Structure 1
Amino acid sequence: MVKWRILVSTAVAALTVAAWGTTAEAAPTAPPGDGVVSPSVVGGSQATQGEFPWMVRLSMGCGGALYSPTLVLTAAHCVSRTGANSSITATLGVVDLQSSSRITRTSNYVYRAPGYNGNGDDWAFIRLSSPVTTLATLPIATSTAYDSGTFTVAGWGANREGGAQQRYLLKANVPFVSDATCNSSSMYGGEVIAAEEICAGYTSGGTDTCQGDSGGPMFRRDASNAWVQVGIVSWGYGCARPNKPGVYTQVSYFSSAIRSAASSLGG
């Protein structure tokens, strides 16, 4: 079974290089645990060009969101440590990863959430070598006001459990699942960290993020009808299984730490 929603096979990473024409780095080893993690969008449809301009594909087999012109917000389990790092390539501005109009940037620094050990605290920043000024950024939720309802997820990950990574960005809508329900014996049996993780998906399964979607945003409209990021793709048992919704880093819980880190990184 797969828990984390990151590509963990260097062979698969190599295949993505051939498919996308981008430079991939080997995915970091998944955190210790029971070995059950996954995220691409299962049960989704193709996004239209420009629909989600802040979506980012990262060369280690993860997603992300453009937080500022120089910072990509992603998952901590997508990176190995905090420090200088020029090995990651970010692809932005396109639905089709092979499009000649795609924007690419290399990284120059990675910031992983302090204290991250594979259990919670699953957020990180990747700083780009030069700013991307032509694309909209995605604001983060700073309160719990939008941590319920129906969310949108998007990514280039697998469109089925064990499936191939996607050339075109897929999107889907998933409903909020309460902490109590998500931690019930029929779902995750207390494995979800209620204070800092948020669940979304259908009891019947069928729609979910999957391997390769890790680090990508979960978002919804705010009171002004603008997009706001409420989650970061983190983990789940398999992809789109019944009673196994996706588990996302709850951005509102970490919003102060995220903003402080961004400021320290010049973003």
Structure 2
Amino acid sequence: MKGNIKLSLILFTLIWFPNSGEDQVERFNFKRDFTANTDLACSIGKEPYVFTEDYPVGRIISPGYNVEAFYTKNVFCKWLIKAPPGKVILISIERYSFGLDDEGSAKLIIYDGPEEKQLAVATRRFNLSKIFTSKTNQVKIVFNGAERGKGFEFYYKHIDPPQECSLTLDKQCRNKFQCYSKSDICDSKNSCIDGTDEEDCVRNEHDLSFPEQCGTPVIPPSILGAHIYGGEKVIPGSWPWLVSLRYPKSAPVDHVCGGVLLNRLWVVTAAHCLLFGNTKLFEVDFGRFNSMIDTSGKEVKRYIDQYFTHPSFMADGTVPENGNFTKFDIALIKLNAPVPIDNDYIKPICLPESGLVIEENSSAFVVGWGNPSKIDTEELFLKQAGVPVISLDRCKKQHPYDADTLGEHVICAGKLEGGTDSCEGDSGGPLMNYNAAKKQWQLIGTVMSGEKNCGEEGKAGAYAYVPYYRNWIDQTIRNN
């Protein structure tokens, strides 16, 4: 999905989401122009520009960044970020570069708390760590640049602080934000939002089987007129099997791929999503609507216990030169603990029978957050798009991949006139159609890696064809 919002950037860009629920988020005008007067933060003697508690996530850049590409000489700026009581502030430094003639005189200093204890400092000679977290709910940033330079860009996010647990009675959940006691272990009550207390427990058939109650969201999706690149924002909770694979080391912009919940313990995604980074550090999030902050209040986290890529994926051990993984780009994730599917926002999708044939021009839907590297308000919200199924013969003629890589393991869908497509960040997410006879949504494809020019005219999206893989899915889950 690619958004089409253009943000005018002079001093800083701020991405804003109110704290008080989905209604306010929905009413927010996403097309507003986030432009600030440089006098507010970059005048000597002025008070810092304040980001109040109502701004739980944002982006700050130096003057001229992304516009003139350089800040001017002798610039002096101050920002103050305030989180609600009980919260701390996570900061991710994306990039910074100071003046070439500036021998250490340019400084970016980050202070923690009202007493302004120095948390981090960067000059031309010294690098900041990429991600760090305050110990209080207040951070002050001061920038002093003597010579012209490219400047800096970073993101911040309000988060819960790590929770200290009793050494004698409590254990710390893996997320470090919660504690649990010995009596909580394997009681099926999820004292930890990430399932730590339910790990390594005896699994029953209820956890491993594909439930009959699948593909039926409690909150129906709005699919009338849906025509995610070129898509529309979804009703929160209407696609409850969608999963966000996240890599916390890239926080707060940590969504990397999509996935689909099959039962309480298993998720299907794209195999290439698991190639980059330590999978033990991945988080698997359920019940999300916003890719950066939890606006639903229904979010559940899990970790990857094991994963299984298709045995024919990268069988020769080499990465394609063009980065496009079209052959057998599918994987299964076994979670560290079952997820609760009695939550209206978390439900499994139905799997189609092996050998199912999907007719050309059949209606299908894709859902996802789109390009994770694009940070604007539209890209943060889950979007959906209706796409017609396209025959493999037409797909081979018009698809950017080599024709011989598109076989019976692939299904193509999209509007060849362009404008509607899955995109970067949607990899592993679902291509679905509605089984009218059973009144259930079923998974017919998962997004594979592909072109970065999403929605380009004449290029359909290519998906791993789930009916082709049904036997492998069943066997893998049964044997593990």
Aligned to 1:179: 392
Aligned-residue offset at 1:174: 0.5
Structure 2 matches for 1:1-267, cutoff 5 A? 41-60=228-247, 61-80=256-275, 85-97=279-291, 98-99=293-294, 100-117=297-314, 118-134=325-341, 135-142=346-353, 143-146=355-358, 148=360, 149-158=362-371, 163-164=374-375, 166-184=379-397, 188=401, 190-222=403-435, 223-237=437-451, 238-265=453-480
Letter aligned with residue 476 of structure 2: A
Given residue 140 of structure 1, which amino acid in structure 2 is its aligned partner? L
Q: Report deviation, 1:49.
A: 1.6
Letter in structure 1 aligned against 2:472: A
What is the deviation of 1:247? 0.4
Check 1:144–1:96 CA distance in 2 against 1; reply closer, same or farther (3 A cut).
same
Structure 1 CA distance for aligned equivalents of residues 371 and 460 of structure 2 = 16
- Letter aligned with residue 307 of structure 2: V
1:259 match: secondary structure: helix
Separation of aligned partners in 1, 2:399 and 2:461? 14
Consecutive unaligned residues in structure 2, runs of 5 or more: 1-93, 96-129, 132-152, 161-174, 176-227, 248-255, 315-324
Query: What is the distance in 1 between the residues matched to 2:402 and 2:313?
Result: 22
| Structure 2 length-normalised TM | 0.45
Does the residue aligned with 1:183 lie in a helix, a strand or coil? Answer: helix
Question: Structure 1 residues 128, 42: CA separation in 2 closer, same or farther (over 3 Å shift)?
Answer: same
Q: Distance in 1 between matches of 2:286 and 2:274?
A: 19
Kept in 2: contact 1:210–1:239 (CA 8 A): yes
Calculate the aligned-residue CA RMSD, in Å.
3.1
Larger radius of gyration between Structure 1 and Structure 2: 2
Cα shift at 1:156: 1.2
Deviations 1:17-67 (A, max 9, x none): 9569699xxxxxxxxxxxxxxxxx101111112211110000140000001
Provide closer, same or farther for how the CA distance between residues 155 and 67 of structure 1 changes in structure 2, counting only shifts above 3 A.
same
Cα drift, residue 185 of structure 1: 5.6
Contact 1:42 1:209 in 2 (8 A): yes
Quickly say closer, same or farther: Cα 1:172–1:214, change in 2 above 3 A.
Answer: same
For 1:212 and 1:58, how far apart are their aligned partners in 2?
A: 9
Letter in 1 for 2:423: C
Corresponding residue SS for 2:333: strand
| Residue 71 of structure 1, CA deviation | 1.0
| Residues in 2 aligned to 1:119 and 1:211: alpha-carbon distance in whole angstroms | 14
TM-score, normalising length: structure 1: 0.78
Confirm or deny: 8 A CA contact 1:199 1:246 kept in the other structure: yes
- Relative to structure 1, the CA distance from residue 167 to residue 133 in structure 2 (aligned partners, 3 Å threshold; closer, same or farther) is same
Give 1:157 shift.
1.6
Is the alpha carbon distance of 1:133 and 1:101 closer, same or farther for their aligned partners in structure 2, counting shifts above 3 Å? closer
Whether the aligned pair in 2 keeps the contact of 1:55 and 1:93 (CA below 8 Å) is: yes
One-letter code of the match for 1:220? N
Structure 1 residues 241 and 191: alpha-carbon distance in aligned structure 2, compared to 1, 3 A threshold: farther
Cα distance change, pair 185–56 in 1 and its aligned pair in 2 (3 A) = closer
Q: Which structure ranks higher in relative contact order (CA pairs < 8 Å, sequence separation ≥ 6)?
A: 1
